[in-house]
Structure 1
Amino acid sequence: MDRFEFGGENRPTGRELRLQGLLEYVEMDQVKAITP
């Protein structure tokens, strides 16, 4: 997540943060599904 510099031109948009959160949620879900 280094490409996001908070406060500046590279400030992440709400949509990018939401997509990032969804991806992280899906990844955690997959890990939980794999591990017994």
Structure 2
Amino acid sequence: MTRCAQAVGAGIIASHLHKKAAELVAKVAEVRL
């Protein structure tokens, strides 16, 4: 695996995790309202 491919893979994983975290925060916010 090249460095470029690793960087792209890491970016995809990071954005996916960020999306999941944002969804969780939104759910918690809904529950609190």
Question: TM-score scaled by structure 1?
Answer: 0.65
- Structure 2: unaligned runs, 5 residues or longer: 26-33
In the alignment of these two chains, the number of paired residues is 25
- Structure 1: unaligned runs, 5 residues or longer: 1-11
Structure 1 stretches of 4+ with a deviation exceeding 4 A read: none
State percent identity of aligned pairs: 8
CA distance in 2, matches of 1:26, 1:15: 17
Which structure has more relative contact order (CA 8 Å, sep 6+)? It is 1
Question: TM-score scaled by structure 2?
Answer: 0.70
Larger Rg: 2
In the alignment, structure 1 residue 32 sits paired with structure 2 residue 21: yes
Match in the other structure for 1:16: 5
Q: Once superposed, what is the RMSD of the aligned Cα atoms?
A: 0.5
CA distance in 2, matches of 1:15, 1:34: 29
